[in-house]
Amino acid sequence: MMIKTLVAALIAAGTLSAQAATVSLSGNAAASVGQTFSLDVLLQQPFDGERAGDELLAFGMDLSFDGSLLRLLGVSLAPAWSDDSAFTGVLLSGSAFPGVADEGQGALTLATLSFEVLGSGSTSIALGSDAAGNFNHGLIYLMSPTLDVQATHALALSVPEPGSYAMMLAGLGLLSLAVRRRG
């Protein structure tokens, strides 16, 4: 269902504006089992085209990834943003007061996502919004229409080299301890 939503959002995003701001995920393209890594959620060209001179007030996006390969450790919003996820129920949800004004920024960092690698293989992490179905979704500007976004980040997850086994075993040990405690 999530994939269907993202596809719909992609179509919608394409139709809303030909010169739209875009969201991307920036960070590692590869990681090893047991490692943790971070990805920045970047908003590229936030005030291009019809959004010139506007203010960005809020954003909301859902996250999709393979839970058998990755575990989300945390979401940290950039300093300008108040974390609204507890209010809206949307995983990536923030608002700013005052809004973030157009000062010619080429890109804005919205948030940083932290993951732990659980298994190996090729996978991807996707972000998306569905503003028509959820009024807490999308990039919400003061004057311009709300913009749906989507982004995908490909990842190659591998078993660590022999030299890394000691580190990995230590990580697995901690992990099993945590699992036992939860149980």
Partner 1 sequence: MTARTTLASRLRRVTLALACGCATLSAVAADITPYLQTPTANSIWVSWKTAEGDESVVEYGVDGGPLNRTASGATQTLAATYRLHGVQLTGLQPETLYSYRVRTGSQLSPVFRFRTQPTAARKSGHFRILVTGDHQLRNDDRHTPLLQAAKAKIQALTGQPLEEAVHLMLNNGDQVDVGTLDHYEFVHMKPSAVVSGNLAIMTALGNHETYYDPGLANWRAHNFYDGISYKGLAAAADESYYAHQVGRVLLVYLNSESNFAAQAEWLRKVVAAANVDPDVDWVISVVHRPYQAEQYVGDISQWFRDTAMPILAGTRKHALNIGAHHHLYARGQTRDWPTYHIISGGTAWDQFWGQSTERDMDDVQKTIANWTWQLIDFDLDARTMKVSSYAEGHPKLGFAYSSRLVDEFERRLDAAGPNRPELTGSADGAVVTLPHGFTLSPFQSPSGMALNSTQFQISRDAAFTSTVVDLIRDVENVYGDTGAPDYEPVDIHAGVDIETYTVQPYGLNNGSYYIRARHRDANAEWSPWSDARSFKVEGSADGDPALRLAKKVWAPGEPVVIEYMNGRGKAKDWVAVYRKGQTPGSASPSVKWSYVSGISGQLAFSGLAAGVEYYVAFMTDDSYAEIAPRMPFYVGDMPELTISKTQFNPGERPAFTWSGAPAGAKDWIGVYRVGQTPGGIGSTTWAYTPTEAGSVTLGALNKGYYYAAFFINDAYFEISERVPFAVGSEIASVSLVKTVLASGERLDIRFSDGPATAKDYIGVFRKGATPGIDLLVAYYYVDGRAGGSLSPAEALPDGEYFLALYINDSYTEVSNRVDFTVGAGGEPEPDPRVFGVAGNLIRTGDALSVNWSGMPGNAKDWIGIYRSTQTPGSSSPSVLWRYAGGAAGTASFSGLAAGEYYVAFLLNDGYQEAAPRVSFTVRKRGDINGDGRIDIADRDAQRAALGSCEGDARYQPLADFDADRCVTQADYRLWYALFTKQ
Instruction: Return the range that interacts with partner 1 (CB under 8 A); candidates 46-54, 83-91, 116-124, 173-181.
Output: 83-91
Taking alpha carbons only, the member of 175, 125, 121 closest to residue 150 is 125
Judged by CB under 8 A, does residue 58 bind partner 1?
A: yes
Spatial separation of the C-alpha atoms in residues 70 and 84, rounded to whole Å = 24
Instruction: Return the range that interacts with partner 1 (CB under 8 A); candidates 24-32, 135-143, 148-156, 164-172.
Output: 135-143
Taking alpha carbons only, the member of 174, 151, 171, 177 closest to residue 159 is 171
Spatial separation of the C-alpha atoms in residues 140 and 113, rounded to whole Å = 21
Among 10, 57, 91, 107, binds partner 1 (CB under 8 A): 57
Judged by CB under 8 A, does residue 165 bind partner 1?
A: no
Residues 10-39 that bind partner 1 (CB under 8 A): 15
Strand 150-158, strand 121-128: pairing? antiparallel
Interface residues with partner 1 (CB under 8 A)?
1-2, 15, 55, 57-58, 60, 82, 84, 87-89, 93, 95, 97, 99, 130, 132-136, 140-142, 146
